[in-house]
Chains A and B, each alone.
Chain A
Amino acid sequence: MSGVSGKSQGNILDVQDLKIHYPVHAGVFLRKVGEVKAVDGVSFSVKAGETLGLVGESGCGKTTVGKGIMRLINVTSGRVDFTTKAGKTVDLVPLDRGGMRPLRSEIQMIYQDPFSSLNPRWSVGDIISEPLDVHMPGLSAGERADKVAWLLEKVGLRGEQAHRYPHEFSGGQRQRVGIARALATAPRLVLADEPVSALDVSIQAQVINLMQDLQEEFGLSYIFIAHGLSVVEHISHRIAVMYLGNLVEIGPAREVYAEPIHPYTRALISAVPLPDPSLKRPDRQRLQGEVPSPLAKPSGCPFRTRCPQAIASCAEQTPPLVEVSPSRFVACLVVAGAGG
């Protein structure tokens, strides 16, 4: 599966066989009774200046992948190779807090909820300058204020609004503050976890455009984690689809959307409602049932219990991602003939 994530020039991030398992304890002595395999061997890469959309339904592990890359949670195994501004490639997995700290200025995060992710007792200026205090302690007060004002203007707010508090802003404006905070340390990679899901329709488009403008201006790479496929398709260069802790398909956004190959991707895309009543979609596929609990994950292919095309051998092995056409990877024994 080289190519999905393999060393290649221009990759800023290479995730290889990432596993994040949580032990489940029960009983009086809290003995370990099982394991939730939240992320179970995920590999992908992100190029410089690229947006990778990570999609899937709740519980598929997309947010956990993001947190694992940020090392906000412990990783069970795998590699996360990050290439710094200085051109050095570092595996983030073995790093401890202290080892991660200098790298955090280069990897930043934007959160879903612009209400809970900003400290209500801090002014917006304080919120944005906190990462500066950590990563650029040499700045004078004047330099810092200038930098905050510059950042606010970059995200479409006004410099003098630095003295205001989060409650004085609308949801969309708060998300702009969150973006300014992420940009403060001039990161190379930004993980955006559902950055527009909580916003009104007319505001979503503004924030998406802003993220694209900033990407162009600063050469940012994004991992855009979301469940809203229409938005992901619009902003991403490539899309990776997750199901129950595994990647099932990855490829160029337009191609994956227009011609999904994996049965799950096909069902997911066909379930997306479109704002056009004249479209009659007789070919629409309906998935039966629900995502199984990650505690009782099916053997073999995780999707086989709901898959309309499942065959007996799907229960036996987890299909690997194979390249079915240039730059398109699918993990399915049936449609991609993987492993068989």
Chain B
Amino acid sequence: MATTEAIGRKKLLEVEDLRTYFDVEGRTAKAVDGVDFFMYENEVLGLVGESGSGKSVTALSIMRLIPNPPGWIERGAVRFRGKDLMRLTYDEMREIRGKDISMIFQEPMTALNPVFSIGFQLTEALQHHKAMSKRQACERAIEMLELVGIPDAARRLWSYPHEFSGGMRQRVMIAMALSLTPHLLIADEPTTALDVTIQAQILELMLDLKQKTGDTAILLITHDLAVVAESCERVAVMYGGKIQEVAPVERLFARPAHPYTRGLLTSLPRPDRERQARLQTIPGIVPSILDFPAGCKFWTRCPVKEAVCETVEPELVEVEPSHWCRCHLVQPTATPGGRSK
């Protein structure tokens, strides 16, 4: 999908026409239905969307962690450092997970094994992927725990997940995810279950560690546009299993092009601005994943839809350099960027 590129930035990840479907009682739920985006090396990209938009399924598809049955990757390419992950064998993919791409989840308790100490879980990966001795792995694990701000790390190494608070567990997850210095960290709602002061600590920690540990790019999946505004360089907005808009953060928040993005931004309460008597809303409900309409996925809720929107799905078009939008009513400005593909 790329045309104009920031000069000198190499692409780390390119997702092309990814489609992941699920069998739901005999019907096919197209959770991810043609997703295209790319990530530069070392960047923080926000992937935002509401529940059912397909953002988490996109992440699990990249990791090839879609449970089958009921799900399967129908088609698509995920090029990561030149390799198409969709074509790797099970064992090749296993080597990539953790070492090159790692993932943290919303609820760290589901990702940590409750019957092993965190020290065991941290050193296991180091010994496997980095061929470290037990002693080296322990030293590295303590170093990582100190880095993520676990007090008294050497002693806490042999504590079990239940002995940590929610915020501390998420720190342990981050330590684990970054201990192998992956090229890509996928963080799926990493702060959603946390209190706001802890959320601020964790986000700052992730960005801070990214600086310290080198060239890790972060794909931050969230429903919270405010979190994106504060931590990402670019944003991709998903709705109905498709990317609807991609832009650098400043541009997306200042000049959103897609009616859905505009609706999302105006529906947020803004305590820092003049008080509005009423919030603006996006009418209707997010359709069930089985009932998205033909044509543009958003037309049933769109305030500016036209007849063509009901039948023809718009393409993701570069409307100005580095700014893509999937909407019939948003035309490219006259720039050399032109249409994508």
Chain A: residues with CB nearer than 8 A to chain B? 57-58, 170-173, 200-206, 208-209, 212, 227-231, 233-234, 254, 257, 267-268, 271-279, 284, 286-287, 290-291
Contact = CB atoms under 8 A, between A and B. Distances in A.
A231 B199 CA distance: 17
13 contacts: A170-B285, A173-B285, A201-B225, A202-B50, A202-B264, A202-B282, A228-B196, A268-B197, A273-B226, A274-B270, A275-B229, A277-B229, A279-B272
Contacts of A202: 50, 263-264, 267, 281-282, 286, 301
Nearest to B263: A202
Question: A205, A229, A230, A233: which has the most chain B beta carbons within 10 Å?
Answer: A205
B113 interface: no
Contacts of B1: none
B285 A172 contact: yes
Given A202-B281, A205-B281, A278-B254, A229 B271 contact: yes
B200 interface: yes
Nearest to A170: B285
Given A234-B275, A271-B200, A276 B229 contact: yes
B340 interface: no
Nearest to B249: A277
A155 to B, nearest CB: 14
Given A201-B268, A275-B253, 8 more contacts: A201-B225, A201-B267, A233-B271, A273-B224, A274-B272, A275-B265, A276-B253, A277-B230
Contact of A227 (B51, B195, B270): B195
B204 A286 contact: yes
A277 to B, nearest CB: 4
B88 interface: no
Nearest to A279: B272
Contacts of A204: 267
A233 B263 CA distance: 20
A254 B229 CA distance: 23
Contacts of B254: 278
B146 interface: no
B272 A268 contact: no
A271 B264 contact: no
Query: Can you list the 9 inter-chain pairs with the closest CB atoms, starting with the nearest?
Result: A234-B269, A273-B226, A57-B195, A205-B267, A205-B279, A200-B50, A202-B282, A271-B200, A233-B271
A55 B226 CA distance: 19
Interface of B: 50-51, 165, 167-168, 195-201, 203-204, 223-230, 249-250, 253-254, 263-265, 267-272, 275-276, 278-282, 285-286, 288, 301
Contact of A268 (B196, B201, B250): B196
Contact of B250 (A172, A277, A284, A286): A277
Contacts of A231: 269
A275 B270 contact: yes
Nearest to A278: B250
B286 A200 contact: yes
Given A227-B196, A272-B271, A205 B249 contact: no
Contacts of A171: 51
Given A230-B269, A230-B271, A57 B279 contact: no
B278 A212 contact: yes
Nearest to A254: B275
B165 A201 contact: no
Residue with the greatest number of chain B CB neighbours at <10 A, chosen from A170, A173, A200: A200
Contacts of B197: 57, 267-268, 271, 287
Contact of A200 (B200, B223, B250, B279): B223
Given A230-B270, A276-B253, A290 B167 contact: yes
A63 to B, nearest CB: 14
A58 B271 contact: no
A248 to B, nearest CB: 14
A291 B280 CA distance: 35
A290 B198 CA distance: 7
B50 A271 contact: no
Given A57-B197, A273-B229, A275-B229, A201 B223 contact: yes
A200 B263 CA distance: 13
Contacts of B165: 290
Given A212-B278, A268-B196, A203 B250 contact: no
Contacts of A267: 197
B226 A274 contact: yes
Nearest to A208: B279
A202 B281 CA distance: 6
A203 B272 contact: no
B164 to A, nearest CB: 10
A319 B272 CA distance: 30
A173 B200 CA distance: 31
B156 to A, nearest CB: 14
Contacts of B199: 271, 273
Contacts of A272: 196, 226, 271
A206 B269 contact: no
